[in-house]
Amino acid sequence: MSIYKAFFFICWLVIVNQVFGQSLYLNVKGENETRTKTIDSIGYIKSFENYITLENEIDKLKHKLVRLGYIDTTVDSIVRKNDTLYSAYYFMGEKIERIRIGYTPQFNKALLNFINHISGDNYFEVDIKDLENVLRTLNLKIAEQGDPFSTLQLINISKHDSAFISAELKVVTNQRRQIDKITVKGYEKFPKSYLKNFLKLKTGKTFNLNEIKEKVERLEDLRFASKIKDPEVLFTQDSTTLYLYLEKTRSNNFDGFLGFGTNENNNKIEFDGYLDLRLINNLNYGETLNLFYKSDEIDQQTFRVDTDLPYIFGSPIGIQLGLNIFRKDTTFSNARQYAKINYQINSQHRVAAGISSVNSTNLLNDDTSILNDYTANYYTLSYNYTKPQYYDPLFPINFWFDISTGFGDRENNLGKQSQAVINLDTYKIFNLNPKNSIYTRLNGAILNSNDYLDNELFRFGGINSIRGFEENSLVANLYGVLNTEYRYRLSSSIYVHSVLDAAYFENQITSTKEKLFGFGIGLGLLTNAGLFRLNYSSGKSENRQFRLSDSKVHVSLTATF
């Protein structure tokens, strides 16, 4: 390339850049200074890459003025001042403040309750600046009544004076829609009973897309399924099909811990632990099966199995069945059976009623006044509230409240005794910020009776009760335990926490009333295998000094599969 051609090419690039690379500017004026100030207060874009975007902004500004009540707005002219500056001149006229909208007798006047208006005989008035939102709200409410393709029009618009116009409302309706079919994609075996009773989605119901989306969000309260994407709808001439996109999630839990401490009598290390297996929705019915076994360091064994079968035969009624066996070394053995019928009010609230029976066997040779065979039967009532936060794998439950009560009789060779029992277990996580939270739990029980047997009293203490004490080493007919933790997240999968527990219990057999305290620290680590927890805690009572040798170390792993 010659030097002349190169020079010509460079000059051509400079010219093109100047012609096509310059920005265009817009200045807008009204018919007088007051109108110009009004336009400036509304605001508009003043710099553009090309003339087409500038022209679009002029048109957008006109529509803004019309929506504000300047319905006579027109663009008088667009004048090019120089290569980069354009001036647009608007005529705005007088501002209309209100509009009166008439309607026919067929119009559903109840829809007006959703808008801010002034009512009259077969008409309503609204501020002109609110007109667009008013029509959008009315159209949305009509769509929620099963007509998603309805449209609203204002016809016969007339201007009465400088501040008032009127119009007639025309509602163009189509075929009312209802849900004719529900199809689940991704998790085709999702329990049909949960569609009907948990999500409250049924065929034959009036179609309302917003309501459907709200109901699908209830999947956040469900452990075994989650939403892949928002629901979709297929409309045909004579049917409406709702598509839900779900996936099955891992919800089975295996939990266990190993604890060890020093025996006060022989100074040897003793071990204790438990296994807790929870199987959820493995048969795709939403069922739950719990299996629990615990062996304590003071020769106590607990075995518990129970099942929860929700929505029997597609109804909102569920059944809970359970068996609990507790053995205290060679002293006694208790076998408790229960059956409940529960009703799921919604995704978070559940009530239940049932029966419970206990059969206790004295394993010693001789009966005493405080230890002998007995049977007990109770009628029970219970209520449960659960507020999950399953998005947080470290702390999936934010608030838990469970209370149950039973009324019945205990019978042994000394006679029959009327009794009442109340159990409470509740906890709450207060999220201060993404890294800091406070966990509080209150757990307790009361047995009300004229006399008591040692083999019917409550046994508590340990990692799931007041920490720093041996598992189930405390015996009471009344007790309450307050657990608190300050939790700090080191990362999304690691947290450390304090342990500060307090308890009060009464044992009328031994005439004991005592306060207990537990102190310690802990660590939680979310691994590929599950949630690993390590606690170091020590307990003391009012009548006993704090001793480091009594400290307990507990290790647990909760695996989800």
460: domain CATH number is 2.40.160.50
Given pLDDT bands bounded at 50, 70 and 90, which one contains residue 68?
Answer: confident
Residue 467 half-sphere exposure, CB side, CA atoms within 13 Å? Answer: 25
Residue 43 DSSP SS3: coil
Average of pLDDT values for 328-343?
A: 94
pTM of the model: 0.73
Same domain, 44 and 164: no
Between 394 and 426, the higher pLDDT residue: 426
What DSSP string describes 490-507? EETTEEEEEEEEEEEEEE
CATH number of the domain bearing residue 155: 3.10.20.310
Question: Does residue 288 share a domain with residue 365?
Answer: yes
Strand partners, 534: 523, 555
pLDDT tens digits, one per residue of 268-321:
666 666 788 999 999 999 999 999 988 776 678 889 999 999 999 888 899 999
pLDDT recorded at residue 6: 52
Q: For residue range 155-182, list pLDDT tens digits in order.
A: 888 887 767 888 899 888 777 888 999 9
Three-class SS state of 51: helix
Cα-Cα end-to-end distance for the chain? 72
| Torsion of Cα atoms, 187 then 192 then 195 then 197, to 10° | -150
In the predicted structure, residue 202 carries a pLDDT above the cut 60:
yes
d(CA 14, CA 200): 68
Please name the amino acid found at residue 384: N
pLDDT band at 71 (very low <50, low <70, confident <90, very high): confident
Does 19 have pLDDT greater than 80?
A: no
Task: With CA atoms as reference, report the closest residue to 415 among 446, 378, 453.
Answer: 453
**Contact yes or no for 106/99 (Cβ under 8 A):** no
Same domain, 318 and 226: no
Of 248, 275, 294, which residue sits at a domain end? 248
Determine the pLDDT at residue 148.
Answer: 79
Determine, yes or no, domain membership for 5.
no
Amino acid in the structure at residue 409 = D
Q: Would you place residue 15 in the very low, low, confident or very high pLDDT band (cuts 50, 70, 90)?
A: very low
CB 228 within 8 A of CB 246: yes
Tokens of 389: 């936060």
The pLDDT of residue 543 is above 70: yes
Q: Which of 69, 91, 113 is the last residue of a domain?
A: 91
pLDDT one-digit tens code per residue, 85-105:
999 999 998 888 888 999 988
pLDDT of residue 346 exceeding 80, the answer is yes
**Does residue 301 sit in the same domain as residue 221?**
no
Q: Are residues 196 and 160 in the same domain?
A: no
Question: Which has the minimum average pLDDT: 67-81, 340-354, 476-490?
Answer: 67-81
Token pair in block for residue 49: 């890459």
In a domain, 65, yes or no: yes
User: What are the φ and ψ backbone dihedral angles of 12, each rounded to 5 degrees?
Assistant: -65, -40
Average pLDDT of span 248-273: 72
Question: ∠ CA(238), CA(243), CA(246), 5° rounding?
Answer: 170
* Tokens at 155, concatenated: 């016809």
Pairwise CA distance, residues 490 & 474, whole Å: 35
Both 230 and 343 in one domain: the answer is no
Considering the domain architecture, whether residues 384 and 243 belong to the same structural domain is answered as: no
Ranges 126-135, 198-207, 253-262: which has the least confidence: 253-262
Q: Which of 70-84, 277-291, 486-500, 533-547 has the lowest mean pLDDT?
A: 533-547
| Cβ count within 10 A of residue 90 | 23
When pLDDT is cut at 50, 70 and 90, the band that residue 12 belongs to is very low
| Number of residues that this document lists for the chain | 561
16 pLDDT band (50/70/90 cuts)? very low
Task: Answer whether residue 364 is part of any domain.
Answer: yes
Residues 424 and 305 in one domain: yes
Helix 33-42 and helix 51-67, axial crossing angle in degrees, nearest 10:
100
Say whether both 398 and 534 belong to one domain. Answer: yes
DSSP code of 45? -
Backbone angles phi, psi at 551, to 5 degrees: -65, 150
Q: Is 274 left (phi over 0), alpha (psi -120 to 50) or beta?
A: beta
pLDDT at 11 over 70: no
Give the pair of three-digit tokens for residue 68: 């504000």
Q: How confident is the model at residue 217 (pLDDT cuts 50, 70, 90)?
A: confident
Which residues constitute the domain of residue 119? 98-172
Q: What is the mean pLDDT of residues 221-234?
A: 89
Nearest CA-CA partner of 326 in 506, 456, 479: 456
At 219 the pLDDT is 86
The predicted structure's pLDDT at residue 277 = 92
Q: Residue 537 forms beta bridges with which residues?
A: 520, 552
On whether both 337 and 398 belong to a single domain, the answer is yes
- pLDDT at residue 359 greater than cutoff 50: yes
Which of 193, 226, 248 is the last residue in one of the domains? Answer: 248
Two tokens at 217?
A: 């969000």
Quote the CA–CA distance of 233 and 268 in Å, as a whole number.
Answer: 68
User: Chain centroid to CA 99: how far?
Assistant: 43
Does 527 map to a domain? Answer: yes
Kindly state the tokens that stand for 104: 């026919």
3-state SS string for 53-87: HHHHHHHHHHHHHHHCCCCCCEEEEEEECCCCEEE
350 within domain boundaries: yes
| Distances 406 to 27, 393, 448, 547 between C-alpha atoms, Å | 80, 35, 10, 39
Residue 4: inside a domain, yes or no? no
d(CA 376, CA 28): 89
**Residue 140: what are its φ and ψ, rounded to 5°?**
-65, -45
Determine, yes or no, domain membership for 17.
no
Residues 166 and 99: beta-carbon distance below 8 Å: yes
Is 493 in the same domain as 431? yes
Query: Domain check: are 51 and 161 in the same one?
Result: no
More confident residue, 146 or 265: 146
Residue at 516 is within a domain: yes
The answer to whether residue 18 scores a pLDDT higher than 50 is no
Angle, in degrees to the nearest 10, between helices 131-144 and 209-216: 70
Number of domains in the chain: 4
Q: How sure is the predictor about 14, in pLDDT bands with cuts at 50, 70 and 90? A: very low
